[in-house]
Amino acid sequence: MPLTASRYGKARVRVMRLTRDGDHHTPRELDLTVLIRGGFDAAWTEGDNRACIATDSLRNIVNVAAANNLSAGAEDFVGAVAAILLETYPQIAEVSVEARETRWSRHAVDGAPHGHTFLRDGNGFGYAGLVAERGSRRLRSGLRGFTFMKTTGSGWAGFVDDGYRTLPDTTDRIAATSMDATWTWARAPHDYAAANAAVLARLLEIFATTYSAGIQDSLYRMGEAALAALPEIAEIHFAMPNKHYIPLDLSPFGLANPGTVFLPTDEPHGQIEATIGRT
């Protein structure tokens, strides 16, 4: 039977590139699929892998291209990946590189663009929930899946050091979360839409402008600030997964990584939840 078509490669290769100009950072996050076609038929028909390139090598090439092309847009970046493959491996006849971009919009605090705080485009969903009985009701508003990030001003250090710990202390890391926040109304505000917008603005202001010793630390202070700003709120509940960006070790390729190339990971993630109320 003839082998009429074949290709292989690596999918879901995720990489974050971060350019730093003092306090002004620019994140570029991509999810790539890299597929190659060429002189590999023997791997299918004869079990002969001698011409094959490991898919891990394809992933590593993406990371090397990231380190060498920090500022390239998606179109130029996929070209850089393809160029490395075609120049390195004569057995490749065709490279297909597709990239899906996670777009981060710079957040503004007091009308000024913030140097290292970003919101994800097309962000989240509004939420409203009501539990009503005869003579009583509990109304809640909030957000679901509202995703934001800051590329510095966050750490995680001083936690339990035992035989299972592998994570080192850090005082400078990317902090990102996809937040579910729900606030319960003690009484109706003058305008729900305006009040909800004010809650979000206060949450983001605290997150952006204060150092975070951990998601727990930010979460609590964000909740305090929301309650202080809106007396109509009785309590606020958060569920904030810690979306990790892990610095990539590029030393096997003779490259340094001064906090500019990261592996985005969603699973498993830290899940941080709390409710902040009034005394």
Residues annotated within the binding site for O2 are 55, 242
| Active site positions, annotated | 10, 55, 244
Phi and psi at residue 273, in whole multiples of 5°? -135, 145
Tell me the H-state helices in the chain: 41-45, 55-68, 74-88, 192-209, 215-229
Spatial distance between the Cα atoms of 230 and 222, rounded to a whole number of angstroms: 12
Q: What SS3 string covers 232-253?
A: CEEEEEEEEEEEEEEECCCHHH
The C-alpha torsion from 49 through 55 and 56 to 62, rounded to 10°, is 140
Helix (H, G, I), strand (E, B) or coil at 152: coil
Q: What angle do CA 111, 114, 119 make, to 5 degrees?
A: 95
Spatial distance between the Cα atoms of 239 and 66, rounded to a whole number of angstroms: 32
